[in-house]
Each structure stands twice: as structure tokens, then as C-alpha cells.
């Protein structure tokens, strides 16, 4: 029997429960173009009551109640769907947070081999003035040997390979977001005096990810190279990030 | 609930009330005359203890929220200065709430292992077990949000690491994971917006837990309690009324439990804490070793055991979701491990495995055991432990359940109890 059978059952219940004489005086609106076919088939089976709000054998039309049932359900579904979005979207960063999204820093005091940490969008931002040796080490690695072969540089296209040249604007200055791409800890910088990991860049103590002198992931659970943020030199030693 | 109500209202008022809102009847049938197997042992007292601990946490939490300020600049001071030093008995309320969380988890772990040992998840109690798993997951979420609120270093970096688990989705759908983390944070990093919403959720979830606890007790009272023999109740000779038999027993052990609980509160209030959380959150410096609270350590060890981010996160999630299907993974016809000689041993190996994973989770990522010249990196122990955790549920449970030769079950609870000279 399928849907027609079920629909007939429901209409019988309506018929039995509707005792409002006002309904009987209202004329039946013909909404035959609305709703699926089985309402009509179902209506034909519901002939046990005199209630004129219901269809019977002589009027094989869906009833006004069928129409209201579908219309109310549709309005409720669309309404809940529309109302849900503001409740979801309120969780996203506010306009004030978005407005604070860029900074300008002076890096003239940073000496070769030194790293300074700035705060950008709530995250640490590493600005590292690399020595010639560190640049040479980074350049010696073929991109095919890297776990993550993409540059992850917001200033380049998404598919740029992770060569050292693609990781910087000026080779001496490496600017990366200091957030381990595994689970967000701040990696510790490696220096000749205090080596961290085996690749001369950074070591994340939380779960043991190791980065090289271009901030590229070399070992451990982190899936991506440290992100290079959108930035530009606004002077010889002035950088605008974001 | 499932048994015939024996409540007879005695006064005019209670007769009047009973016809309008039979609430006294509900309480009477659920907690007074409720027929309970007569052989429930010590391990069955933790359900009642958990109910009381939920009340302790809600009451202490509500009063703490009257003094706490959910603001990234003020939160740390409102806890360490105002609540700990200025509010009358604030130190006591805070230590009750912090240690209460640990005691809550201690009790829930005993409760879960008890259920596993006696097969309390098996038909007809699958829904009861699943509701219990939901409560456990809600407890973990609530505890996580609560731990962020004092805004210390561990609060901040714990929040960063756990919410960053969602960024693993980037490896399936690029940028979706990052978008979700920004949505969770309300910022580009954990910050003030994150703290505010975590406070809101930390206040909300305990009441959700209370609701699910109501369902859990309802689902318990339909089939009735399981028991250490794991056999069905066959008649009134197998049961005793809940009151006074189990109200007294639960009450007695609750007092002992509170002695331990308050022992920590008064004599070792920071036993379960991490010293780094007495340093205010600093978004630019991660502490050398991020360690979650002790009750999350086994899962943390499993996360770190896997060298891939995405698979590590899937293992973590899988280890929890596995619990939901335990009723269908166990193929044995016998519930209690008392009559399952092989499963009993595997169960205790599983308990040891969870403790081992907890230990490994508490150590640094690159820790190792040294045996003379040889060294065993602990990450390999974590991998072994992870393997057994999943193997126990997904391989041993279905397989042993079919193969195992179980010992004969007693005729009835009453016969078993009386044969041992009990009464």
C-alpha cells in the first residue's frame, strides 16, 4: 500500500477529531496542484466522516488541512534554517578582530642569526635574520626531499614549490607565523649555541616536529611548512604584515 | 518504573497530590522500593557517588561564577587574587571544584571499568551504556572548558592544542579545518572571545549532563541493575528494596570517598594540578611540555603515538567512539567476567594498558627508558598500547566471545548468595 495507506490513516484521525462546526461552513479550497499525488489517493479512502473540510469520494482533492500541513512544515523548516545561520556566524571573528589584522614592524635592530618574535593576529610571528650559512643550508635541500613540497607562502600562488627562494622576499629575512602546523604550539628557535632538533630551524617541544632554516617541516607529525604571512617591505628594514 | 508500584499515599494531601502529580510515587518507586539485586558489591557504589559529585560540581561552580570574570585580561587575577585570596572561603570553593573534577573522573573510570568487567553493556542494557558514554564525553568537554577558565599557561596552550585538532580536517578538505578553528576561537588565535564562549559552555554543559543522567537512570530502571553474576533477576527472592539496603551501602562508601576527596582538598590541593597554570597565559611562549589533566592522558598518548597529524586525530576520536559500539562488539552470551576465564585476564591487561598509556602521556614526547646501553623510546610503548586498546575492542572482544569456554552459571542470584552462607 505504501504512502497512500499511511495518508489515509492520518486523514481518518483528523476526521474523527474535528468537531468544529465552523469548518463545515467553510468551502473547500481546491489545491489539487499542490502536494504529492498520494494525498489525493489517500483522500479518496477517507470517506467515513461527514466533515466537509476533508475530501471524500465525490471530491478527490487534497484538503485545506493537507495544504496547511505542508505549508506550515515548509515555513518552519526554512525559518529554522535561516535563523540558524546568525547563531552559527556569531561565533566567527568579529569586525573589530578583523580590523586589527595587520601590523607594521621595524626590524633594523635584529642582528644576523637572531630571531625576534612579534605578535600578529594573536599569534607569535617569527622574523629571523638568517646568516649566509643558514640560507645556503636551506638552498641545498631539493624540494622533492621535503615532506611538504608547497611553499605555503601567502604572497605566491598556492601551488608554488617549497624552494628556499619561494619562502622569502629577501633571502636574508625569513618571516613566518610561529605556529606549529601540527597542533598550534610555538616552536623553539635553534641557534648554534642551543641547537633544537637536527635541521637548524626550530623544534616544537609539544610533539617533536622539526623545521629547517627556511621554516619547512622536516620531521615529526606536523603536516605543513610554517606559514609565510602576506607581507611587504615598506622600507629597507620596515615590514608590513597582513 | 518497570516494577509494579507499591506506593500507597497515607494522608489526604498526598492522595490529592498523587492524582495530580505523582512525584512522591516516582521517587518511592525509583529510590525506595526499587527492587535491586541482592548481590551488588563494592564496585556498584560509584553510580551514587557520581550523582553526588555532579551536584558538588554544580553547586561549587555556580558560587565560583559569582566571583569569576571571563575576560582575557582579568580572568587570571579574578581566580588567583580575588577568589584565592579575597573572597571568604574562595580558596576552599576553588579547591573543591578543581579537585572535585578529578574525583568525578576517578569515580567515572571505576564505574566504566566495572561495567566492562560485569558485562553491564550487554542486552538489554545497550542504551544505558551508550547514554553513559555520552555522559563521559560531555564530562570531558566540560572539564576541558573549565580548565581553560583560570587563563594560566596550561589553560591557554591546552585550549590551543585541543581546538587545533580540528585543523586536521585541512588535510581532507583544504582550509575547512582552519575555518572551523577560527570559528571556534572567534579570532585568529585562542583569545578573549574564546574564553568568553568557553565560560558560557562550561556553565551550560553540566545541566546537559544532569539531563542525560536522568535518562541514564531511567534506562537503568527499566531492565533493572546488572549484578556481579551477570545473570537475570528471576524473582523477588533475588532482590532487596533499594532502601534501606543500598541507600546505607552507597551512603557509607560516599563518606569514605569524601574523606579521600577532602584529604586532597585540605592537604594536597594542587596534587592534580600543573605548576605552569600559576603563570598567566602568554600567547607568545609555549611551556616546554604541554600535559593535559591526568584523566585525558591515555588519549593524549594515543594522539602522540601516531606520526601523522590526520591519523593521530582519527585514532583519538576513534578510541572514544569505539566505546559506543562495545555492546555489539562483545559476542559472548555470558555477561560477567567471573565466568569468562580468558576475558577476565584480557580485561586486566586492558586496565594495565590504560594505565601504561596514561603514564606515557604524562612524559615528554621524546622520553625513553634506558636499560644500560639500550634505550626504549616511550613512543613505542604508546604505539603498543594503542594497538592493544583497539585490538581489545575490535578483535579480542568479538573473537574471544565466540571461542571462549565459559564456566557454568549459577541457577539464580539467591541460590548463589545463600550457597556462600550469605543472607
Each residue's pLDDT tens digit in chain B (423 positions)? 457 888 999 999 999 999 999 999 999 999 999 999 999 999 999 999 999 999 999 999 999 999 999 999 999 999 999 999 999 999 999 999 999 999 999 999 999 999 999 999 999 999 999 999 999 999 999 999 999 999 999 999 999 999 998 988 988 998 899 999 999 999 999 999 999 999 999 999 999 999 999 999 999 999 999 999 999 999 999 999 999 999 999 999 999 999 999 999 999 999 999 999 999 999 988 888 888 999 999 999 999 898 888 999 999 999 999 999 999 999 999 999 999 999 999 999 999 999 999 999 999 877 889 888 888 889 999 999 999 999 999 999 999 999 999 999 999 999 998 887 655
Nearest CB among A122, A182, A207 relative to B283 is that of: A122
Q: How far does Cα B255 stand from its chain's mean position? A: 20
Q: Do A185 and B286 touch (CB under 8 A)?
A: yes
Q: What is the largest CA-CA distance in chain A?
A: 96
**Inter-chain contact B307–A220, Cβ cutoff 8 Å?**
yes
Confirm or reject contact between B413 and chain A (CB < 8 A): no
d(CA A136, CA A130) in angstroms, rounded, equals 10
Say yes or no for a CB contact (<8 Å) between B286 and A221. Answer: no
- Cell numbers describing residue B357: 598509556
> Any chain A CB within 8 A of the CB of B178?
no
If you ran DSSP here, which 8-state letter would residue A146 be given?
Answer: S
- Residues of chain B in contact with residue A218, where contact means CB-CB under 8 angstroms, are none
B383–A contact, CB cutoff 8 A: no
Contacts of A112 (CB under 8 A, 6+ apart): A129, A130, A131, A172
Phi-psi category of residue A18: left, alpha or beta, with phi > 0 → left and psi -120 to 50 → alpha = beta
CA separation for the pair A198, A203 (Å, rounded):
9
- How open is the CA angle B362-B53-B151, to the nearest 5 degrees? 50
CATH superfamily for domain A97-241: Rieske [2Fe-2S] iron-sulphur domain (2.102.10.10)
- Shortest CA distance from A116: residue in chain B: B284
Chain A and chain B share a number of CB contacts under 8 A equal to: 92
Judged by CB atoms closer than 8 Å, whether chains meet at B189 and A206 is answered as no
In chain A, what are the domain boundaries? 1-61, 63-92, 97-241
Kindly report the nearest CA distance between residue A123 and chain B, in angstroms: 6
Three cell numbers written together for B320: 572514544
Span between the terminal Cα atoms of chain A, in Å: 64
Mutation choice for B interface testing from A221, A222, A226, A230 by most B CBs within 10 A? A221
Query: Read out DSSP for B252-294?
Result: HHHHHHHHHHHHHHHH-TTTTS-GGGGSB--TT---SS----G
Residue B381 has what pLDDT?
95
Q: What Cα–Cα distance (Å) separates residue A61 from each residue in A6, A32, A64, A70, A207?
A: 17, 6, 9, 15, 68
Name beta bridge partners: A116. A127
For residues A113 and A201, is the Cβ–Cβ distance under 8 A? no
Q: Return the sign of the alpha-carbon dihedral for residues A166, A168, A170, A172.
A: negative
* CA separation for the pair B358, B298 (Å, rounded): 4
Of A88, A205, A208, which is closest to B288 when you measure between CB atoms?
A205
Asked if B149 and B68 count as a contact pair (C-beta separation under 8 A), the reply is yes
Interface contact flag, B290 A93, Cβ < 8 Å: no
B 121-160: CB under 8 A from A: 157, 160
pLDDT band (50, 70, 90) for residue A230: very high
Do B161 and A205 make contact, defined as CB atoms within 8 angstroms? no
Residue B325 or residue A151, greater confidence: B325
Q: Say whether residue B23 is in contact with chain A using an 8 A CB cutoff.
A: no
Cis, peptide link before residue B124, omega less than 30° from 0: yes
Whether B304 sits inside 8 A of A182 (CB atoms) is no
Cβ–Cβ gap B188/A97 under 8 Å? yes
C-beta atoms of B364 and A124 within 8 A = no
Rounded distance, CA A204 to CA B287, Å?
11
Positive or negative torsion for Cα B82, B83, B85, B87: positive
Q: Do B101 and B143 meet the contact criterion of CB atoms below 8 Å apart?
A: yes
Residue A85, min C-alpha distance to chain B (Å): 13
β-pair type (A209-212, A173-177): unpaired
Chain B positions touching A94 (Cβ under 8 A) are 186, 193
Question: Whole-prediction pTM value?
Answer: 0.84
A5: helix, coil or strand?
Answer: helix
Sign of the torsion angle spanned by Cα atoms B141, B142, B145, B146: negative
* Grid cell in block for residue A215: 621554516
Eight-state DSSP code of residue B312? H
Residues of A that are catalytic: 207
Grid look-up 641557534 returns: A191
What ipTM is given for this predicted complex?
Answer: 0.80
Of A92, A221, A222, the CB nearest to B186: A92
Identify which of A91, A123, A183 has the shortest CB distance to residue B188: A123
Going by their DSSP bridges, the two strands A217-219 and A231-235 should be labelled as unpaired
Amino acid at each position: 500500500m505504501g504512502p497512500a495507506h499511511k495518508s489515509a490513516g492520518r486523514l481518518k484521525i483528523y476526521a474523527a477529531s474535528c468537531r468544529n462546526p465552523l469548518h463545515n461552513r467553510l468551502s473547500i479550497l481546491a489545491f489539487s496542484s499542490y502536494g504529492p499525488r498520494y494525498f489525493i489517493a489517500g483522500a479518496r479512502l477517507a470517506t467515513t466522516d461527514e466533515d466537509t473540510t476533508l475530501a471524500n469520494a465525490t471530491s478527490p482533492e487534497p484538503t485545506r488541512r493537507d495544504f496547511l500541513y505542508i505549508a506550515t512544515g515548509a515555513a518552519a523548516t526554512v525559518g529554522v534554517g535561516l535563523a540558524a545561520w546568525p547563531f552559527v556566524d556569531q561565533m566567527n571573528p568579529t569586525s573589530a578582530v578583523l580590523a586589527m589584522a595587520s601590523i607594521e614592524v621595524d626590524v633594523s635592530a635584529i642582528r644576523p642569526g637572531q630571531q625576534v618574535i612579534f605578535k600578529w593576529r594573536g599569534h607569535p610571528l617569527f622574523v629571523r635574520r638568517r646568516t649566509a650559512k643558514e640560507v645556503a643550508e636551506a638552498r641545498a635541500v631539493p624540494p622533492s626531499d621535503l615532506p611538504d613540497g608547497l611553499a605555503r607562502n601567502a604572497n605566491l600562488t598556492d601551488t608554488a614549490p617549497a624552494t628556499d627562494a619561494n619562502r622569502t622576499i629577501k633571502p636574508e629575512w625569513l618571516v613566518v607565523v610561529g605556529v606549529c602546523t601540527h597542533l598550534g604550539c610555538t616552536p623553539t628557535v635553534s641557534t648554534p649555541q642551543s641547537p633544537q632538533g637536527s635541521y637548524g630551524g626550530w623544534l616544537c617541544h609539544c610533539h617533536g616536529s622539526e623545521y629547517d632554516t627556511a621554516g619547512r617541516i622536516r620531521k615529526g607529525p606536523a603536516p605543513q611548512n610554517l606559514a609565510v604571512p602576506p607581507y611587504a617591505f615598506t622600507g629597507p628594514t620596515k615590514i608590513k604584515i597582513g | 518504573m518497570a516494577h509494579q508500584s507499591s506506593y500507597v499515599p497515607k494522608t489526604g494531601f498526598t492522595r490529592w497530590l498523587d492524582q495530580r502529580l505523582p512525584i512522591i510515587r516516582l521517587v518511592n518507586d525509583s529510590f525506595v522500593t526499587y527492587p535491586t539485586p541482592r548481590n551488588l558489591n563494592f564496585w556498584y557504589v560509584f553510580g551514587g557517588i557520581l550523582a553526588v559529585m555532579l551536584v558538588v560540581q554544580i553547586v561549587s561552580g555556580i558560587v565560583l561564577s559569582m566571583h569569576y570574570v571571563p575576560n582575557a585580561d582579568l580572568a587570571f587575577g579574578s581566580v588567583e587574587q580575588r577568589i584565592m585570596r579575597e573572597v571568604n572561603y574562595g580558596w576552599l570553593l576553588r579547591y573543591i571544584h578543581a579537585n572535585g573534577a578529578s574525583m568525578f573522573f576517578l569515580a567515572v573510570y571505576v564505574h566504566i571499568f566495572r561495567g566492562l568487567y560485569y558485562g553491564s553493556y550487554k542486552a538489554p542494557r545497550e542504551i544505558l551504556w551508550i547514554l553513559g558514554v555520552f555522559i563521559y564525553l560531555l564530562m570531558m568537554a566540560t572539564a576541558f572548558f573549565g580548565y581553560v577558565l583560570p587563563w594560566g599557561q596550561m589553560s591557554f596552550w591546552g585550549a590551543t592544542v585541543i581546538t587545533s585538532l580540528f585543523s586536521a580536517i585541512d588535510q581532507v578538505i583544504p582550509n575547512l579545518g582552519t575555518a572551523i578553528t577560527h570559528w571556534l576561537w572567534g579570532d585568529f588565535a585562542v583569545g578573549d572571545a574564546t574564553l568568553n564562549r568557553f565560560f558560557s559552555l562550561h556553565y551550560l554543559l553540566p545541566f546537559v549532563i544532569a539531563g542525560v543522567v536522568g535518562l541514564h537512570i531511567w534506562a537503568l530502571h527499566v531492565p533493572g541493575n546488572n549484578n556481579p553474576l551477570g545473570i537475570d533477576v528471576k524473582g523477588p527472592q533475588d532482590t532487596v528494596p533499594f532502601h534501606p539496603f543500598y541507600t546505607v551501602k552507597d551512603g557509607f562508601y560516599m563518606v569514605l570517598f569524601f574523606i579521600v576527596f577532602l584529604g586532597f582538598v585540605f592537604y594536597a590541593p594542587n596534587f592534580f594540578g600543573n605548576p605552569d597554570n600559576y603563570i598567566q597565559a602568554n600567547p607568545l611562549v609555549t611551556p616546554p611540555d604541554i600535559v593535559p589533566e591526568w584523566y585525558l592522558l591515555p588519549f593524549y598518548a594515543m594522539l602522540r603515538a601516531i606520526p601523522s597529524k590526520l591519523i593521530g586525530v582519527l585514532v583519538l576520536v576513534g578510541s572514544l567512539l569505539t566505546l559506543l559500539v562495545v555492546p555489539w562488539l562483545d559476542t559472548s552470551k555470558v555477561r560477567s567476567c567471573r565466568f569468562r576465564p580468558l576475558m577476565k585476564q584480557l580485561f586486566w591487561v586492558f586496565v594495565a594498558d590504560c594505565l601504561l598509556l596514561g603514564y606515557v602521556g604524562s612524559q615528554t614526547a621524546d622520553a625513553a627508558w634506558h636499560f644500560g646501553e639500550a634505550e626504549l623510546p616511550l613512543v613505542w610503548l604508546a604505539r603498543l598500547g594503542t594497538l592493544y586498546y583497539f585490538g581489545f575492542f575490535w578483535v579480542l572482544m568479538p573473537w574471544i566471545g565466540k571461542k571462549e569456554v565459559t564456566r557454568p552459571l549459577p541457577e539464580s542470584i539467591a541460590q548463589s548468595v545463600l550457597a556462600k552462607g550469605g543472607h
